[in-house]
Amino acid sequence: MTYPYPQGPGPYLPPPYPPPRQSSAVDVTISILTMVVILVFIAVAAVLGIFSLAFLDHCPPATCSAEGAAGAVLSSLGIAGLVGATGIVVAIVQLVRRKPGWPFAVGTLVLCAVILVMGVVGYVVAVGG
């Protein structure tokens, strides 16, 4: 008696799934350390920015703008915080997907540094320094 369908293993079985990717220990370590540095960097920048505004006692109106200084500091801190949070989330998603996350973490750190330097330049321009 013959069967209309082949029995047992044959060419009709789907191929086996590839094994899941392994995460590199170096990638995970660099990503986590960079994310911690981003958090510490933004926290230190926030403290320094708030203190720079708190001790802006004498601001002659002819050469200084306290509103401009506050706008430069607070906007750069806010933007750096949003960029940092977004970059950290993207790096964590990449690590969970077992793809390299360190480029996103390092790129976020560099972008946050550029944003905060622009805030410092805005502060110096606003206070006439």
**Tens-place pLDDT, residues 107-118:** 999 999 999 999
Q: Quick check: is 6 in a domain? A: no
Per residue in 49-101, pLDDT tens? 999 988 887 778 788 888 999 999 999 999 999 999 999 999 999 999 999 99
Tokens in use for 101? Answer: 């996350």
Instruction: Specify the higher pLDDT residue, 21 or 44.
Output: 44
Q: Quick check: is 32 in a domain? A: yes
Q: What is the pTM of this model?
A: 0.81
Q: Quick check: is 29 in a domain? A: yes
Q: Quick check: is 4 in a domain? A: no
Q: Quick check: is 111 in a domain? A: yes
pLDDT of residue 26: 93
Q: Quick check: is 13 in a domain? A: no
How far is it, in rounded angstroms, from Cα 37 to Cα 67? Answer: 30
Mean pLDDT (whole number) for 28-50: 96
- Overall number of domains in the chain: 1
Domain range for residue 118? Answer: 25-54+64-127
Q: Quick check: is 15 in a domain? A: no
How far is it, in rounded angstroms, from Cα 65 to Cα 59? Answer: 7
How far is it, in rounded angstroms, from Cα 59 to Cα 87? Answer: 36
Q: Quick check: is 7 in a domain? A: no
